[in-house]
Structure 1
């Protein structure tokens, strides 16, 4: 079992149950999955970019990334239906806990002038999305081999019903929210 999964089970879950007054252990919010997404609009013209992004996202997540394709043709962007425009990965269970641990303890502190994560990314249903401007903050990425930095979206899907419960869960797990 992952270190962070043990922290959740032994400390965070009982504290959340006490804070919000849950009667059943099934009511306690938990993280269902973490979704990583890299969007590359210019990949429609340069196929090498998409292959590089898939390799790097696979290294970061430890799971094979899937290429996302355009759903509709948009003439203004020179985009045709079915062209590759990005890649994504959905992590669950052990890989999810390992990724969250690495994100909170290794990657986010490596961000230049880091003051915390803004808490504006909640969707009203307990899920949280944050953006990372440069994917090279992850220790798995060899900076010398990266041609250009890529941004990524990271979405935490939780079983929490409100944003307050979700924020409390993420804060107790170690998410460094901006004060």
Structure 2
């Protein structure tokens, strides 16, 4: 008698662990707008990031607000991926795909987007998000490194060998 294991029948999407969105600001006054943009895109209130050490070269003081981040899991993560692949990335004129060198040694994908205005949630409030700023996206998955690199193609995220 044979017993089928559920792990063999799971799709690669089930090995996605989380998506982290990070936005850093050059001045502390613009952190509020970054927070509003990430909240509109993700549907979650962002966590504020503070400087741990002072850096004189960047005019940075200890405990100064420098950015915000959101961690998406589960249903909100899949909703974000669908919006990214089917709505936002096709709006980029010069977007050929995410470069394969954007994978780290664990097989997680990290890339950045330059505009908040391409998201349908932010298009409505053009006056708030008109200042060009971007954010970083980290797609963290679990499992074998070779399988991790196949997840982006399964999700429909275009990749290039550049």
Match of 2:23 among 7, 19, 38: 38
Give the CA deviation at 1:166: 1.3
Q: Does the alignment pair 1:61 with 2:45?
A: no
SS at match of 1:34: strand
- 1:52 matched to which residue of 2? 33
- 2:151 matched to which residue of 1? 169
Equivalent pair of 2:24/2:31 in contact (CA under 8 Å) = no
**TM-score, normalising length from structure 1?**
0.78
Equivalent pair of 1:34/1:91 in contact (CA under 8 Å) = yes
Instruction: Give the number of the structure whose residues are more often helix, by fraction.
Output: 1
1:92-137, Cα deviation, whole Å (9 max, x unpaired): 0000010011001001111122222212111111211111112222
- 2:95 matched to which residue of 1? 114
Q: Does the alignment pair 1:103 with 2:84?
A: yes
**TM-score, normalising length from structure 2?**
0.86
Gaps of 5+ in 2: none
Gaps of 5+ in 1: 1-22
Output the aligned Cα RMSD.
1.9
